[in-house]
Structure 1
C-alpha cells in the first residue's frame, strides 16, 4: 500500500467498484435481452397467441372480438399502436389466419418412395428426391412444371439428402455412399442423365484410413457456396473445399450416426450436428482444439433426424425419433455430456409404431427452450396442436414451407409430392381426394401437425 499514491489507490478503488457496477449492469442487461429474445421466439412459435396489448387497445379497446388481417395492416400503416410495426405477437396472430390447411394438390406422383421435398431460398424452385434414382426440380412460379429431371448416378438405396447452392446454380445430392454428386441445374438441358447427357461431378469424402465405405446422411452448402459439410454413419462430420477439390476437415463428432448437420449462420464458422446418440452438438471452426465440440445440448431421448438453424447463431430446432421437436438456444449449452438413463425400448420407424410407454419419457437434464409433440402418425399430443393435415397413405418423410407464401409441400413413401395452401382452388384438377391415396399395409392414413 505504501508504494501506491493515495490518490492513485482511490482512483483504482473506485475504478474497481465502477467496473463491478458496470459488470453487474452488463449481466442484468444480458439477462433482460435474453428474456426479450426468448419471448420473441416464444411468440413466433405460439400460433394461438393474441395481438399485443397496444395493438388491441388501438383497435378494440377493452373488447375481445377477433381482429381481421385488414384491420391489423391498417392499424400498422397508420401506426395506431405507437410502435411503428407489427410485434411478434401481432405476426403470430395474423399468421394463424393463413395456415396452409387446404388441399392437398398433387405436385408429382412417382412409382417410388418420395424422400425429400425442399424449397429454394427464394421459393422459386421445389426439389423432390425419390428412391428410384430420381430428383426432380419444379418451377413453383410456373404451375409446378418440371424445370430439371435428373437421373442420378450410382445411388445406394435412395437419395439421402440434397442441397442447392446459394446462387441456385448447383445441386449437390448424396446417397448411402461416401460420394456427393454435383449437377448444374441452370443450363438449358431439361433431362439430366448422369454422365450421359450431363456430367454429375463426384466429390469423394472417404480416405484410406476409413477402413470401409461409409454412408452420407446430410449435406449442406456454406453460405458463400465454397464449402460442403456432410454428416455420415462413420460418426463424423466432413467439410469439403469445392475450389480446392478436397476434404479439409474431418471431425469425429458423435458416438453414433450423424444424421443432421448445418451451418449456424452466414459466417460458416459455427456448425450444429445431431446424431443417433440423441445429442445435439455445437462446433466452432475458429477454436484451436479442432475435433472438440464447444457445447452439447441434451434433452432428446432418441436419434435426431434433422436440424434447422434460424440463421442468427443462437437458435435452432431439431426433429427426433422420440416424436418431439425441440427449440434450442446455444447460449444455454453445456461443455460436457450429461448422463441419462438409456432408453428401455427398441423400435424402427420404417415398420413399427412408436412404443406407447415411451411417449411421456422426459430427459432429467433437458436444456431445450420448448418441446413440441404430436407429429407422429398416431398423435397423442401433450401440447396444443393448431392444425392436423391428413391425406398421405404412408410415412411422411419430409415437408417444406415456402419462404414467403402460405404454401407447404410434403413428400411421402406413397410416392406423392403434394402441396397444401391457405386458400381454396376447387377448380384445380390436381386436387387430391380422400380415398385416392395409396394406403400403408397396416391401413393407416398418415398426417403431420402444426
Structure 2
C-alpha cells in the first residue's frame, strides 16, 4: 500500500514537472508569436528543444537551482550530492538525470586504433546493445568485434558475389544474423552465432542468398545501396538502383513487396517507428518521401514528400518517434525533417542547377553552398562537413546517454562532425584519419564513438 502511494506520488510529481516545462515552453513560443518575423520553423524549433530537454532534464530537487540561476548549467557535483542526500526521494538517478550528466561528456578524446584492415571501410555500426561492432570494407571482408571482450574478433567474414564493395551490412535485432549487400540484386545472410570464427562464403559456411529481383531481364542491372532489418527481425527493407523500395519477408523467404518510389536511384531507406508502419526513403531525385505501409494496398503511393535538398540524398536516419528524421545530401548539408510538414506531391521541384556536376569526383561549386531551395520544408539545416565521393552517413546521437541532443556525420575531408540538434552549432570535430570517413557509430550506452575510413583504419574516440 505504501509502495503504491509512493509511486502514485512520483507519477504526479513527474506530471507536474512536465506541465511546468510545457507551460514555460508555451510561454516562450507565445512571446515570440507576437513578433511578425516568427515562422513555422520557430514553432518546430521550440518543440524539438522541448522534447530533447524532457529526455535529459535533471530532477529539480537533485539540481537544487538557486533563484535567478535556473538557466545556468546544473553542476554534476551538485546532482551527485543531491542524490547522496536523497533529495528526490528515489535514492538514485532517473534515466533523464543520467542522460543529463552523460550528454556533457562527448567522445572527443583519442583516438585509439581498433584495427587496420586491408581496404577502405564503407560500413561500421554498433549493435543495438553495444556489445558488438560490425565493420565492412571494400576488399570483401566484414569483421564483427566483441566490444566487451577487448575488441576481440568474433567473426571474420569473407563476402560472396561482391561487386565493387559492400554497400551496407546490418545485424538482426537478436544479433544472431548479419545481412550484407553489394552492387547486386542479392543480399546475403550469415549466422553470427555459429562456432567458426572465420566464415568463408560457401566454403566454411553457407551464406544464403536473398534475391530482390523478380525480373531476369533486369537482374544484372539491379544494385542494392541500403538494407535494414525491421524491429521484429522478420523483414528486410532495401533501397535499390531501379528507383524502388523492396521489402523481403524472411519467414516466407521471398520478396513480398516492390514499391516504385522515386524517379532516380533510391540510396537510402529506413523504418520510421518501432511498429514498422512508417518508412523514410531518400533518392538522387533530391526528395525525401514518407511511406505508410498500412496504405500501400489502397493508395500505392507515398504518404508525403519533403523538399529542401538541392541535390541527391545519401542517407537517412530516423529518430525512432515516427515524426523526425535527418538526411545527408549531396548539396553538402544535413537537414532535420518533421513529417507533419510534408506535402502531398512535389510537382514544383526545381531542376538540378548543375547537371554536369558529379559528386563522385568533382568539388561542389563554392557559390552553390549558399543557395537555398525555394520551398525548403526542413526544420534545421546543418553545414560544415562535406559529402563527396560516396554515400556518406549521418545519425542521431544515442537516446540513452545524450537524449539525442546531437547529430553526427562522416565527411569527405577525413573528419567526423558533431552538431547540436537544436541550435545547429558545430560542437566538435574529430580529426585523425587520412582518408574519407564514410561511416561512424556512437556507442548506445557509453561516451564512445568509432570512426571508419577509406584509410583502412578503425579508430575509437572516448571521454578520458
Tell me, in whole angstroms, the C-alpha distance in 2 between the residues paired with 1:130 and 1:180: 16
Tell me, in whole angstroms, the C-alpha distance in 2 between the residues paired with 1:354 and 1:92: 38
Residues 226 and 240, structure 2, Cα contact 8 Å, conserved in 1: yes
Tell me, in whole angstroms, the C-alpha distance in 1 between the residues paired with 2:227 and 2:239: 7
Q: Which residue in the other structure is 1:178 paired with?
A: 185
Determine if the alignment matches structure 1 residue 262 to structure 2 residue 270: yes
Tell me, in whole angstroms, the C-alpha distance in 2 between the residues paired with 1:125 and 1:276: 32
SS at match of 1:59: coil
Tell me, in whole angstroms, the C-alpha distance in 2 between the residues paired with 1:74 and 1:331: 42
Residues 59 and 88, structure 2, Cα contact 8 Å, conserved in 1: no
Report deviation, 1:237: 0.6
Tell me, in whole angstroms, the C-alpha distance in 2 between the residues paired with 1:86 and 1:340: 46
Larger radius of gyration: 1
Pair 1:163–1:51, CA change in 2 (3 A): closer
Q: Name structure 2 gaps, 5 residues minimum.
A: 1-25, 31-40, 387-411
Report deviation, 1:85: 8.0
TM-score, length of structure 2 as denominator length:
0.76
Residues 265 and 311, structure 1, Cα contact 8 Å, conserved in 2: yes
Runs of 4+ in 1 over 4 A off after TM superposition: 34-38, 43-46, 50-57, 63-66, 73-82, 84-88, 90-93, 377-383
Residues 173 and 182, structure 1, Cα contact 8 Å, conserved in 2: yes
Q: How does 1:89-128 map to 2 (within 5 A)?
A: 94-128=101-135
Matching residue within 284, 289, 310 for 1:281: 289
Determine if the alignment matches structure 1 residue 387 to structure 2 residue 428: yes
Residues 79 and 85, structure 1, Cα contact 8 Å, conserved in 2: no
Q: Which residue in the other structure is 1:440 paired with?
A: none
Matching residue within 332, 339, 346 for 1:330: 339
Structure 1 residues 377-386 or 146-155, which shifts more?
Answer: 377-386
Residues 44 and 91, structure 1, Cα contact 8 Å, conserved in 2: no
Q: Which residue in the other structure is 1:147 paired with?
A: 154
Deviation sequence 1:9-64 (CA, Å, 0-9, x none): xxxxxxxxxxxxxxxxxxx9xx99x9998645336779xxx978968983343347
Deviation sequence 1:199-229 (CA, Å, 0-9, x none): 0000011112653421000001111111111
Matching residue within 201, 205, 214 for 2:212: 205
Q: Name structure 1 gaps, 5 residues minimum.
A: 1-27, 424-450
Pair 1:61–1:402, CA change in 2 (3 A): same
Residues 163 and 183, structure 2, Cα contact 8 Å, conserved in 1: yes
Pair 1:339–1:162, CA change in 2 (3 A): same
Residues 98 and 406, structure 1, Cα contact 8 Å, conserved in 2: yes
Tell me, in whole angstroms, the C-alpha distance in 2 between the residues paired with 1:244 and 1:87: 40
Determine if the alignment matches structure 1 residue 319 to structure 2 residue 328: yes
Pair 1:344–1:92, CA change in 2 (3 A): farther
Deviation sequence 1:270-307 (CA, Å, 0-9, x none): 21111111111111111133531111111111111111
Q: How does 1:390-429 map to 2 (within 5 A)?
A: 390-423=431-464
Structure 1 residues 353-362 or 282-291, which shifts more?
Answer: 282-291
Structure 1 residues 114-123 or 210-219, which shifts more?
Answer: 210-219
Matching residue within 322, 341, 346 for 2:350: 341
Pair 1:416–1:45, CA change in 2 (3 A): farther
Determine if the alignment matches structure 1 residue 134 to structure 2 residue 141: yes
Q: Which residue in the other structure is 1:375 paired with?
A: 385
Pair 1:167–1:254, CA change in 2 (3 A): same
Q: Which residue in the other structure is 2:242 paired with?
A: 234
Aligned pairs, how many?
Answer: 388
Report deviation, 1:352: 3.0
Pair 1:119–1:177, CA change in 2 (3 A): same
Deviation sequence 1:332-390 (CA, Å, 0-9, x none): 21111152332322444443332211111111111112111112256999952111111
Pair 1:178–1:68, CA change in 2 (3 A): same
Matching residue within 232, 240, 255 for 1:224: 232
Tell me, in whole angstroms, the C-alpha distance in 2 between the residues paired with 1:349 and 1:123: 33
Superposed CA RMSD in Å reads 3.3
Residues 44 and 92, structure 1, Cα contact 8 Å, conserved in 2: no
Tell me, in whole angstroms, the C-alpha distance in 2 between the residues paired with 1:258 and 1:66: 43
Deviation sequence 1:87-145 (CA, Å, 0-9, x none): 98x88864553001101111111121110110100000000000000000011111111
Q: Which residue in the other structure is 1:192 paired with?
A: 199
SS at match of 2:426: coil
Determine if the alignment matches structure 1 residue 362 to structure 2 residue 372: yes
Residues 251 and 290, structure 1, Cα contact 8 Å, conserved in 2: no
Q: How does 1:43-62 map to 2 (within 5 A)?
A: 58-62=64-68
Determine if the alignment matches structure 1 residue 308 to structure 2 residue 355: no
Pair 1:53–1:142, CA change in 2 (3 A): closer
SS at match of 1:70: helix
